[in-house]
A and B are shown apart, each in its own frame.
Chain A
């Protein structure tokens, strides 16, 4: 009797987990469909190409060109990754390969705190420190005038935000490299730097790609901190010091406010759909790249 019960429980546990899994996947699909359904009115009479690549954003006249927002998101994310990637790579290399144990003991918790700070705090920091610094010190060297609320400010704040994420992902990757590999390289007379470069970094390239994709996906969606320092002007940026208007900021700023305008809600839903699709495609593409690299390597 007892045995039977055990087996029933085992089977039902498996079934339950499977149902929950299906549910969470179904949720993803439902979100996609829902977004599309809500965004559908904006497609009427407008080509997808026009929506994505036109810079005319005049909701009052019913013109919805998303290029400024797409470009804004790309600029901010691009700057953030460009700034954070080298720093995090070197920091993680230092911490795993070079640092003494007591350094690790104090730095790891500090990184966790950095990662756990609410994004509003980063936004305030950006507004108080980065924006004035750009407008007073940095921008005058390059352009005539900048308020400081710019793509660069957004990139820096976002870069600092994804930094702890990247560092901790990289640390995990590098620590997973077996010590035997390092010893094999060192035993041939390689220096520590040669070993790091040619063995540790090389071994972890697939993982690093995955980590960067994860960081980019996060950067795409980051809203509050970016919204606070970006300037939020619907124009295609031409320099680092121009204000930009990333997609998440657009949605957060306007949803619930200007819904009396015809089609405005649908347009915002379309913006959300863009984010959804981009993140999805990005993840799928990175999986494919990873799969090919791993297949080649083993």
Chain B
């Protein structure tokens, strides 16, 4: 027993040395995994953001401040630019053909729109949950470990710890712990979405961007995801695009209402829902259009 534990401590010291060496050589950008980010305030400010796709003005003069450690719901009718806004935050919009960005998006004071941005690091910070759960073509374990691996974590023990921790955080551990090696596509669709959540969390983002994350799920699964979001907002700022007004009513702390590429109204959920200032917001909330 004692030999084993001394071996373990030696191994830990070795792994610590190896990884700090990797950091020194600039191969890894983060010295250690904190598991849950508690400390620093994260701040997302949008200033005069304009997005054009092939001469179509998609987002018009967006000015926003996303509150820290809250659930921000972006609501509005289809085609109003909600998803485009979300994709701008992690620059996935770059892969759209003929896109032009203008203005500023400041994350912790750093503008991410200009061309010098380290995109891979930005995308690590902005965990994305897409509308349709999209497990990668590998096992459950590898899905969660994927992000860590691409960011340079190779230590087996560490990966084991990370995967277990984030599967627990996503409430999936008990359901899959005996079949971590089976392909992720065999999970039910609700489980797949939680797996995607675990996968995003495993690279330690500051923000979670959820693009209608529950719209493809059954009511029970979407309830589970919603509850997870409420739990997760202690540690992450969550920005959620949603089509269902009821969902926004249930969990939003802060609401952004968009219409035809413009932000019509933004504010605390209470005040926007109970006392909308703008005529369009009133109409939308009363169900005049959707």
Contacts and interface: CB of A to CB of B under 8 A. Distances in A.
Given A101-B97, A297-B137, A190 B132 contact: no
Given A101-B97, A181-B134, A198 B120 contact: no
B130 interface: yes
B97 A184 contact: no
Contacts of B10: none
Interface in B97-156: 97, 120-124, 126-128, 130, 132, 134, 136-138, 146-147, 150-151
A189 B151 contact: yes
Nearest to A101: B97
A235 B154 CA distance: 52
Contacts of A298: 183, 185-186
Contacts of A180: 130, 132, 134
Interface string A67-92: 00000000000000000000000000
B199 interface: yes
Nearest to A205: B137
Contacts of B95: 182-183, 186
- B interface, how many residues as a size bin? 20 to 34
Given A101-B97, A183-B130, A184-B136, A190 B150 contact: yes
Nearest to A298: B185
Contacts of A198: 136, 146, 150
Q: Main SS of the interface on chain A?
A: helix
Nearest to A197: B150
Nearest to A182: B95
Interface in A85-123: 101
A188 B199 contact: yes
Contact of B124 (A184, A188, A202): A188
B183 A187 contact: no
Interface in B141-182: 146-147, 150-151
A182 to B, nearest CB: 8
A147 interface: no
A236 to B, nearest CB: 43
B137 A189 contact: no
B146 A188 contact: yes
A194 interface: yes
A198 B147 CA distance: 11
B138 A202 contact: yes
Of A181, A183, A184, A298, which is in contact with the most chain B CB atoms at under 10 Å from its CB? A184
A254 interface: no
B196 A184 contact: yes
A189 B152 CA distance: 11
B90 interface: yes
B206 interface: no
Contact of B92 (A101, A187, A199): A187
Given A187-B128, A189-B124, A199 B137 contact: yes
A57 B24 CA distance: 67
Contact of A188 (B132, B138, B200): B200
B136 A194 contact: no
B137 A184 contact: no
A218 interface: no
Interface in B182-199: 183, 185-186, 196, 199
A184 B92 contact: no
A189 B186 contact: no
Contacts of B203: 188-189
Contacts of B132: 180
A253 interface: no
Of A189, A194, A199, A203, which is in contact with the most chain B CB atoms at under 10 Å from its CB? A189
B121 A189 contact: yes
Given A181-B137, A297-B137, A189 B92 contact: no
Contact of A202 (B126, B130, B137, B200): B137
Nearest to A191: B120
B134 A186 contact: no
Contacts of A286: none
Given A194-B150, A198-B146, A297-B137, A189 B185 contact: no
A168 interface: no
Of B121, B132, B134, B138, which is in contact with the most chain A CB atoms at under 10 Å from its CB? B134
22 contacts: A181-B134, A181-B136, A183-B92, A184-B128, A184-B136, A184-B196, A184-B199, A185-B146, A186-B92, A187-B126, A187-B130, A188-B124, A188-B146, A188-B200, A189-B124, A189-B147, A190-B150, A191-B150, A198-B150, A202-B137, A298-B183, A298-B185
Given A190-B120, A198-B150, 20 more contacts: A181-B137, A182-B95, A183-B95, A183-B130, A184-B128, A184-B130, A186-B92, A187-B123, A187-B127, A187-B130, A188-B150, A188-B200, A189-B120, A189-B121, A190-B146, A190-B147, A198-B146, A199-B136, A296-B183, A298-B186
For the complex of A and B, the 10 pairs showing the least CB-CB separation, nearest first, are A189-B124, A187-B128, A188-B147, A189-B123, A189-B120, A203-B137, A180-B134, A184-B134, A190-B150, A194-B150
